Amino acid sequence: MKPSAESFVRRVRSKLDELSSTERQLADFLLEFPGELASYAGNELAQLAGVSPSTVSRFIRRVGYESYEEARRHVREEQETGSPLFHASSPAAARQVRSVAAHFQQSQQNLAATFERLSDATLAEIARAIVSAPQVLIFGSRSSQAFALYLRWQIIQVLPRVSCLPGPGETLAEYTAGLSERDCVIVFGTRRQTGQMERLLEAATRAGSYLLYISDQASSDYALATWSLQAHCRGPGSLDNHVGVMALCDLLSTLVIEASGAAGRKRLAAVEQEHEELGDFD
């Protein structure tokens, strides 16, 4: 579900000059922690912000909502976009997610939920397609670029034609122009991607390339992908927890290295010899 055209934060900011002192106190609180409105009932929000429940009711109507529940639904819609602003918690509410135990527990849950959806047969098929592809293109923008770079770094040890795209100053067209049916395109589609991702998905589909789409539980799937893998990334705080995505990268890398067979081992040996010749490591 997409949020309304005018965001909750913009609505609040547009009314700042019209608010009473206590309403302004609530507005200041919500501009810093807008996600709290989705998490708490009206009287609980009033307590967190240090105002009365009646102030909350007046404020909600003042910024253009018919009811607290309508405002709450709007904020929940905006939370689905993945903005850290809408996942930040006030100091009073954040104490429960600051502990090491809370983060460890969420990481365990994400790993379990991610791996229970995986199939050995599907992953083996993906690994074979990657190994046999004339070229492998890996894409991820924003925070997902780190996953793309990491996956490339691991599998390039056994496969010579692996690119992470686009590079600095490059365009997608410089890569997609030569895509073929046997090529493999890996796209990290965790939420808050740029428009480049959609254009690459369309280009890979037109070319008939193998397409592996890796997303999270809060993102839409891509129906035309050859394979879709979904990681659970719910975080205990304001940021997504990407333990499941990294675990998928490690699993895929291991399977690709194993599937590369003798050719992969030969390349790996050559790479290690060059490390020694060039003195790459101390």
* Tens digits of residue pLDDT in 138-174: 999 888 899 999 999 999 999 999 999 988 888 899 9
- Which contiguous run of DSSP H or E holds residue 195? helix 195-207
How big is the CA angle at 163 (ends 161 and 164), to the nearest 5 degrees?
Answer: 160
Q: Give the phi and the psi of residue 184 in degrees, each rounded to 5.
A: -125, 125
Which stretches of the chain are assigned E, i.e. beta strand?
136-139, 162-165, 184-188, 210-216, 227-231
Q: 186: closest CA among 165, 171, 216?
A: 165
Q: Are strands 210-216 and 136-139 parallel, antiparallel or unpaired?
A: unpaired
Is the pLDDT reported for residue 267 higher than 50? yes
Q: 187 by DSSP, 3-state: which?
A: strand
pLDDT number for residue 2:
40
H helix and E strand count, the chain:
14, 5
Number of Cβ within a 10 Å radius of residue 182: 13
Tokens of 9: 């934060």
How big is the CA angle at 60 (ends 54 and 65), to the nearest 5 degrees?
Answer: 140
Q: Is 261 left (phi over 0), alpha (psi -120 to 50) or beta?
A: left
More confident site: 11 or 35: 11
pLDDT tens digits, 81-103: 656 556 555 555 555 555 788 88
What share of the chain in percent tops pLDDT 70?
A: 91
pLDDT number for residue 90:
53
Number of Cβ within a 10 Å radius of residue 127: 21
Tokens of 253: 């890398």
How big is the CA angle at 201 (ends 79 and 136), to the nearest 5 degrees?
Answer: 115
Confidence of residue 253 (pLDDT cuts 50, 70, 90): very high
Global pTM exceeds 0.75: no
Instruction: For residue 41, give the DSSP letter.
Output: -
| Distance (Å, whole) CA 116 – CA 109 | 11
- For 182-192, what is the mean pLDDT? 91
Least confident of 83-97, 101-115, 122-136, 256-270: 83-97
pLDDT number for residue 206:
95
Rounded to a whole number of angstroms, the CA Rg of the chain reads 24
pLDDT number for residue 131:
97
Tokens of 32: 């810093």
pLDDT number for residue 166:
84
pLDDT number for residue 1:
35
Is the pLDDT reported for residue 57 higher than 90? yes
Q: Which domains does the chain have, with CATH numbers?
A: 8-98 (1.10.10.10), 103-278 (3.40.50.10490)
User: Do 12 and 25 form a contact (C-beta atoms < 8 A)?
Assistant: no
Residue 165 CB partners (closer than 8 Å, separation 6+)? 137, 138, 139, 172, 175, 200
Which residues on neighbouring strands pair with residue 211, listed in sequence order? 185
Q: At what angle do helices 42-49 and 21-32 cross, to 10 degrees?
A: 100
Number of Cβ within a 10 Å radius of residue 9: 16
